[in-house]
Amino acid sequence: MFESIDVILPRNHKERINVEQHCLASNNVNIIACEGAERIERHELLGKWKSRFSMAGFEPYPLSSVVSATIRPLLKDYNNGYEIEERDGALYLGWVDRILVSSCAWK
């Protein structure tokens, strides 16, 4: 994630500092420095979430092709390092062959 930010915004750019302070800082501190009850962020692989949703009685809901068709050109205009891929009923946002985040729908 930080590599993708380095390419887009210089380290002293006001927008970057704002994103790092308000969106990333607490998340990173929580993952790196907190344990037990203090840790509230628990990032897990999509496979684990799919298993949990299935065990709870949810079924995968297909994502609209409009979503990726809308996002793909925006990412290419922003920077060629970002990629979007649809597979196994999920949408993956990546940076240079590394998945950053995934999204799926359930009903």
Residue extents of the structural domains in the chain? 1-43, 44-107
Q: Of 74, 70, 67, 73, whose CA–CA distance to 89 is shortest? A: 67
22-57 per-position pLDDT tens digit? 877 777 777 778 888 887 777 788 999 999 999 999
Mean pLDDT of the chain: 87
44-102 per-position pLDDT tens digit? 889 999 999 999 999 999 998 898 899 989 888 888 899 999 998 899 999 998 998 99
3-class DSSP state for residue 96? coil
Supply the pLDDT for residue 75.
87
3-class DSSP state for residue 67? helix
Supply the pLDDT for residue 48.
93
